[in-house]
């Protein structure tokens, strides 16, 4: 049984509040569109939106012509999700997908609760379900202290938003079987409390043992 998520209690309010957040973020939408073009250029059609929340990124990817599976650990978020995609409750650290079953994985701010020490296992799981030469898009917060949220939408919550170092994430991607493709960092705007990072990588066509550190 999937344990309750801190997002369950706030999911309807969260979905309503952020339903059109990408409408005011053309830079972010551009990265999603570019990722979709990369997938399609490789004759790919199916992508996983891991940690999809109510489906903001999934809707963008679907509108770009991709078949999207949205997965989230929060039953409330999946109930609140909307758009032309398939939705499933699941753990992104143990994806209910076969090896090489998707052409790309989008993790749109879904690693913000994952400690850096746990990222290698998560990235390897993303790599497992991706076809050789498939694509990965990560969006995450960076260059700021951890944000501890204890109240949201009038409810008590316990959510820590971790800000990952871009160079470290890129190094972990290489170790997990990816080739870096492009990246960008933009400054915070509006109510954001950290800079925003975007990294696109491509799965190597075969897994190899990473070289020892320092070589």
Q: Does residue 211 have a pLDDT over 90?
A: no
pLDDT tens, residue by residue, 36-68: 999 999 999 999 999 999 999 999 999 999 999
pLDDT tier for residue 69 given thresholds of 50, 70 and 90:
very high
DSSP assigned state of 115: -
Query: What is the residue-averaged pLDDT of the chain?
Result: 93
Residue pLDDT, tens place only, 118-163: 999 999 999 999 999 999 999 999 999 999 999 999 999 999 999 9
Name residues whose C-beta falls within 8 Å of residue 192's C-beta, 6 or more positions apart in sequence. none
Task: Specify the residue for token string 């898009």.
Answer: 137
State the Cα–Cα distance between residues 209 and 55, nearest whole angstrom: 35
Single pTM value for the model: 0.92
User: Scanning the structure block, which residue is given the tokens 């409390």?
Assistant: 193
Residues 6+ apart with CB under 8 A from 106: 32, 35, 47, 48, 49, 50, 57, 58, 61, 136, 137
Q: Burial level of 54, CB count in 10 A (0-12/13-18/19+)?
A: buried
């Amino acid at each position: 049984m999937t344990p309750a998520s801190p997002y369950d209690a706030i999911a309807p309010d969260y979905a309503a509040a952020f339903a059109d957040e990408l409408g005011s973020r053309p830079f972010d939408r551009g990265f999603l569109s570019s990722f979709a073009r990369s997938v399609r250029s490789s004759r790919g059609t199916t992508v996983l939106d891991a940690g999809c929340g109510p489906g903001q990124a999934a809707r963008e990817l679907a509108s770009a012509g991709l078949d999207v599976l949205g997965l989230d650990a929060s039953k409330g978020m999946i109930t609140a999700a909307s758009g032309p995609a398939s939705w499933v409750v699941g753990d992104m650290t143990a994806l209910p997908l076969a090896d090489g079953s998707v052409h790309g994985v989008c993790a749109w701010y879904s690693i913000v609760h994952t400690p850096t020490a746990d990222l290698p296992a998560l990235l390897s799981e993303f790599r497992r379900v991706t076809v050789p030469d498939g694509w990965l898009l990560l969006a995450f917060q960076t260059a700021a202290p951890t944000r501890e949220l204890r109240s949201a939408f009038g409810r008590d919550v316990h959510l820590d938003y971790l800000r990952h170092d871009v160079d470290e994430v890129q190094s972990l991607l290489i170790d997990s079987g990816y080739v870096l493709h492009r990246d960008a960092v933009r400054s915070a705007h509006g109510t954001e409390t950290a800079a925003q990072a975007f990294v696109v990588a491509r799965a190597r066509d075969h897994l190899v043992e990473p070289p020892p550190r320092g070589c």
